[in-house]
Amino acid sequence: MSISLERSKGSEKLKNYRISVSGYGGESAYISISKAACDFWIESLENSDNDAVEYCLNADSGDFDFDEISEVPADAKFLFDEKSGQSDHVFESPDKTAHLWGPSVQLATVDVDLIENVENPDEVTENVISGEGVDDLSARIGDQTDFEVDIFEEPADGTISYPSPGDCVFLFTSLEKGTFYECFVSLSEEFDATKIRFVVGEAPDGQDIVLGVKYDGQAIENLGGDTVGQGYSAHAWEQL
């Protein structure tokens, strides 16, 4: 499917463009945890995040193979749900303050291809933008427009919740690389790079993440990416 951004009502053949955003990023869960849990995991994380990752991946099954710790004390089991008596999967924790998926802006590239039709996107007629860094595209569009056009947009209010001073946060990330967004637009005019927008949100740990793509003011549906897992990481901190 594609979104149609027609400029005329005539019978002019529409031009189909595929927009792909690739790079390094992942899926991250930011979870509010207790001070006791925070203290335990900060100490555990001093040498390695292996045990923290092990806990997050297997809390719902309870089958652990820890490297350094023998067990997780009750007050550090932040994925345990007292009501159900079971542990949640880390990405399904009800205590998540943010759940983000996408590439890091600094490590993201964009491709825009003119294609014959969206049913067979491999038939590329023209590479309009080929592997250009999202930051580089932003700088190029800024230069072309005397910096009147900013291709970065902030997400809607409430998309990301941020911790307050004193809050304790656990961050679990599934690290991935590849294509995070693949979407299509059908236009009656040539693709105009000054009309593309990347919805970029600052994650609670300070990373800028691409959360969506727009063209000419309209959000474009992501029809699915193709990423490969690169491992996992875990962090815990008390917000200053």
Angle at 206 between CA 60 and CA 89, to 5 degrees: 5
pLDDT band at residue 7 under the 50/70/90 scheme: very low
Q: What is the DSSP letter of 240?
A: -
3-class secondary-structure state, position 124: strand
Q: Give tens-digit pLDDT for 142-153.
A: 999 999 999 999
**Residue 214, both tokens:** 């727009």
**Residue 124, both tokens:** 């590329």
Q: Give tens-digit pLDDT for 219-230.
A: 999 998 899 999
Terminus-to-terminus CA distance in the chain, angstroms? Answer: 46
Q: Give tens-digit pLDDT for 94-125.
A: 999 999 999 999 999 999 999 987 778 888 99
**CA nearest to 222, candidates 103, 65, 87, 95:** 103
CB count within 10 Å of CB 238 equals 15
Q: Give tens-digit pLDDT for 36-66.
A: 999 999 999 999 999 999 999 999 999 999 9
Q: What are the backbone angles phi and psi of residue 129, rounded to the nearest 5°?
A: -130, 130
Q: What are the backbone angles phi and psi of residue 180, rounded to the nearest 5°?
A: -95, -30
pLDDT band at residue 12 under the 50/70/90 scheme: low
How far apart CA 79 and CA 234 sit, in angstroms, is 14
